[in-house]
Amino acid sequence: MEVILKTDIKGLGYKNDLVDVKPGYGRNYLIPQGFAVLATSSNKKILEENIKQAAHKAEKIKTEAEAVASKLEGITLEIKAKIGDSGKIFGKVTTLQLSDALADKGIEIDRKKISINQPVSTSGEYEAEVDLHREVKTNVKFVVIAE
């Protein structure tokens, strides 16, 4: 079943992408939630027209995302966590903590666009991936320190 995405969905695609999904997933989740529309011929023509009109805006958004990515390259965040005697963290470091730390530095990034790829179990230096745009992804370094 082909659908046109109306929003970015992690692991599936970005807004205005034409993706092939299983019929149940499309009919029972994507379309009722408003995340996608059925890819009929008329909807495809509307999509093409919208893409033509949005090309200029998309270029501006991409350059803004690249500017934010260049800011993130030189930043190392400090995340405080409670650490036991054995050196392990109580609880976990979340993307919300990273988003708040970036906001303190003056960079507003939604926590849903940040992903931590390796488990954070001890103090030390780690990296998280930030998905700023469909073509712009960068890594941000963070250090977990004892509270």
Give the model confidence (pLDDT) of 9-24 as tens digits.
888 998 888 999 999 9
pTM for this one? 0.65
Contact 125, 135 (CB under 8 A): no
The CA R_g of the chain, rounded to the nearest whole Å, is 19
Q: What is the pLDDT of residue 54?
A: 79
Confidence band, pLDDT 50/70/90 cuts, at residue 50: confident
Share of the chain above pLDDT 90, in %: 33
- Kindly report, residue by residue over 62-117, the tens digit of the pLDDT: 888 888 888 888 888 898 888 888 878 888 888 899 999 999 988 888 888 899 98
3-class secondary-structure state, position 120: coil
